[in-house]
Chains A and B, each alone.
Chain A
Amino acid sequence: MSEEKKYRKVRIKRGPKGWGGPLIIEPKPGRDLIYSVTGGGIHPLAQHIANLTGGRPFDGFKSKADFSEIAVAVIDCGGTARVGVYPMKKVPTVDIYPTSPSGPLMRFITEEYFVSGVRPEDVELVDE
């Protein structure tokens, strides 16, 4: 058989002071980037999600990708800009910080596309 890539599904829930979610994330061929838009390279939480799902960790500050290739965006946003941009583009978004909808783009921040305050233990595999 050819090398068929195996992806797994995870559920990401909000952390203790977080908001939104839970998000179900399942990378697919062509849409498997775990898109880290964080300071200092791939964030450990993005790496963790990549390890669990089989998605590819990707540094949004180093390289370019299409929104259609992103399985989930991981941000360390203090509440104004990045929290809104990815949900606006319908990209599921995980904020490390426990932010709630705010900022000029807050109307796009919904429980369906956004979860915050997430710690590694808030990410769990979903059994099929």
Chain B
Amino acid sequence: MVKYFAKISQIGPLVDEFISGGVLVFFGQNAPEELREFAILHDGETLNEDIVVGDQFCIANECFTILAIGEVANQNLKALGHFIIKFNGEHKPEMPGDICTEVRPLPPIRVGDTFAFKSAN
């Protein structure tokens, strides 16, 4: 089941720096200017069901298993389209906003690509 789905509308000039640190920052389209510099903006709207450990995060046709999810991550996604993905292999979120996945190289990410959160089956 798809829990959240969106298309990427803008990629900030500093996103590359975050990618090299294994972190992606997402915001909805109404994010203030200062957050756009290092964020991926998208048109997602509705979170159908809270994301839980074991779900998949799929971007540009690659899927990553979610290993940990911070206590405010679902709330941020619902309210602001905002979430932070760390591709760090951690089973405990370092910060309350984190979503952690397995460590694998990221595919190239471009404007127009889509991403989704899905339950495992």
- B98 and A37 form a contact (CB under 8 A): no
In the complex with contacts A39-B80, A76-B72, A80-B25, A99-B96 CB distance below 8 A: yes
The smallest C-beta distance from B86 to any residue of chain A, in angstroms, reads 8
Kindly state the separation between the CA atoms of A80 and B80 in the bound complex, as whole angstroms.
Answer: 15
A39 touches B75 (CB 8 A): yes
Residue of A nearest to B75 (CB): A39
Interface of A is mostly: loop
Interface residues as binary, A79-98 with B (CB distance below 8 Å gives 1, 0 otherwise): 11110011001000000010
Would A89 and B30 count as touching, CB distance under 8 A?
no
- Give the size category of B's interface with A: 20 to 34
Q: Could you tell me if A79 and B34 are in contact, using CB atoms closer than 8 angstroms?
A: no
Question: Chain B CB within 10 Å — which of A39, A81, A99 has the most?
Answer: A81
Residues of A at under 8 Å CB distance from B?
A: 37, 39-40, 60-62, 64, 67, 76-82, 85-86, 89, 97, 99, 102-104
Q: Which residue of A lies closest to B32 (CB)?
A: A60
Interface contact B96-A97, CB-CB below 8 Å: yes
Q: Does B78 contact A78, Cβ atoms closer than 8 Å?
A: no
**Which residues of chain B are within 8 angstroms of A37 by Cβ–Cβ distance?**
32, 35
| Interface residue from B30, B33, B72 paired with A78 (Cβ < 8 Å) | B72
24 contacts between A and B (CB under 8 A): A37-B32, A39-B80, A61-B30, A61-B31, A62-B30, A64-B33, A76-B72, A77-B97, A78-B73, A78-B76, A79-B84, A79-B97, A80-B98, A81-B35, A81-B39, A81-B82, A81-B84, A82-B35, A85-B35, A86-B34, A89-B34, A103-B23, A104-B17, A104-B38
CA distance A40 to B18 in the complex (A): 27
| 19 extra interface residue pairs, beta carbon distance < 8 Å, beyond A76-B72, A78-B70, A104-B38 | A37-B35, A39-B78, A39-B82, A64-B32, A64-B33, A78-B73, A78-B95, A78-B97, A78-B98, A80-B25, A81-B84, A85-B34, A85-B35, A86-B34, A97-B72, A97-B96, A102-B95, A104-B18, A104-B23
